[in-house]
């Protein structure tokens, strides 16, 4: 299917190390990473820190402050993060102005069940505005399916420094993370894995 671009080693090692350190600092900062509890009451196995706008794990909606956790405002996305995502999207043929960055932390037992990302505005989803994903640290076994949950999935290993752009007809494909390969993180990253997903909420950048 079109709309999927994988840029292997988009970030050279020094940039991976710098971005890892920035994520680590943010995760332990004034508005820290936390473990979301989803609808039904189960905790997610990943840590989450949303920048720009907060994704509420109970409502599956976006909001300015973390009303499902500590009422803290979502910290801003560093300009250098936004520029990295926009540069990758441009290489994949998309114009992209991300206003949300979700930083997830995976330890060696974390997983992400197969799901669709469809909580952004309908006009942005229909336009196929991409999600840009940056992987850091341990390798993940990622699976990508089709537009229906029962469609078959294909595995893809995501390594530190890889960037995946999912737009156009691929924007609503089902996908998940089935396992983390502990001990595979390059020097100066890890342990574990940070994944950054950049999103644009609306068709017009920065609209509510």
Are 136 and 194 in contact, with CB atoms under 8 Å apart? yes
Please tell me whether residue 200 binds ligand MD3 under the rule CB under 6 A.
Answer: no
16 binds, among Fe ion, ligand MD3, none (CB under 5 to 8 A by kind): none
Q: From the CB of 112, what's the least distance to Fe ion, in Å?
A: 7
Burial per residue of 80-98, b for 16 or more beta-carbon CB atoms within 10 angstroms, e otherwise? ebbebbbebbeebebebbb
Stretch that binds ligand MD3, among 62-70, 90-98, 172-180, 181-189 (CB under 6 A): 172-180
The neighbour count for residue 74, using CB atoms within 10 Å, is 21
Closer of 71 and 75 to ligand MD3 (Cβ)? 75
Contacting residue, 16, 56, 104, 110, with ligand MD3 by CB under 6 A: 104
Residue 51 contacts ligand MD3 per CB under 6 A: no
Closest by alpha carbon to 109, among 1, 27, 191? Answer: 191
Cβ pair 153, 119 in contact under 8 A: no
DSSP character at residue 196: E
Number of residues that bind ligand MD3 (CB under 6 A): 19
Q: Please state the closest distance from residue 8 (CB atom) to ligand MD3, in A.
A: 14
Q: Which residue number is nearest to Fe ion in terms of Cβ?
A: 117
Residue appearing with tokens 């720009």: 52
Secondary structure (3-state) at 149: coil
Token representation of residue 136: 């850091």
Q: Is 172 exposed, middle or buried (0-12, 13-18, 19+ CB in 10 A)?
A: middle
Site string for ligand MD3, 106-145 (x = CB under 6 A): ------x----x-------------x-x------x-x-x-
The site partner of 63 among ligand MD3, Fe ion, none (C-beta below 5 to 8 Å per kind) is none
Is there a contact between 174 and 107 (Cβ–Cβ < 8 Å)?
A: no
Residues 78-117 that bind Fe ion (CB under 5 A): 117
Phi first, then psi, for residue 19 (nearest 5°) are -70, -35
Q: Name the site residues for Fe ion (rule: CB under 5 A).
A: 117
Q: Name the site residues for ligand MD3 (rule: CB under 6 A).
A: 102, 104, 112, 117, 131, 133, 140, 142, 144, 158, 164, 166, 170-171, 173, 175, 177, 195, 197
């Amino acid at each position: 299917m079109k709309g999927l671009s994988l840029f292997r080693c988009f970030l050279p090692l020094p940039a991976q190390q710098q971005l890892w350190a920035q994520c680590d600092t943010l995760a332990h900062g004034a508005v820290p990473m936390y473990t979301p509890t989803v609808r039904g009451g189960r905790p997610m196995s990943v840590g989450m820190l949303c920048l720009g706008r907060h994704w509420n794990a109970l409502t599956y909606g976006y909001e300015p402050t973390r009303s499902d956790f500590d009422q803290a405002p979502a910290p801003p996305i560093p300009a250098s993060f936004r520029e990295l995502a926009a540069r990758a999207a441009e290489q994949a043929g998309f114009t992209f102005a991300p206003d949300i960055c979700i930083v997830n932390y995976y330890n060696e037992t974390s997983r992400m069940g197969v799901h669709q990302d469809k909580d952004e505005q309908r006009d942005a989803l229909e336009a196929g505005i991409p999600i840009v994903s940056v992987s850091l640290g341990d390798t993940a076994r990622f699976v990508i399916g089709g537009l229906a949950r029962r469609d078959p999935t294909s595995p893809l290993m995501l390594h530190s420094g890889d960037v995946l752009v999912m737009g156009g007809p691929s924007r609503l494909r089902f996908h998940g993370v089935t396992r983390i390969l502990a001990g595979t993180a390059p020097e100066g990253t890890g342990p574990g894995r940070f994944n950054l997903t950049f999103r644009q909420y609306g068709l017009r950048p920065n609209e509510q």
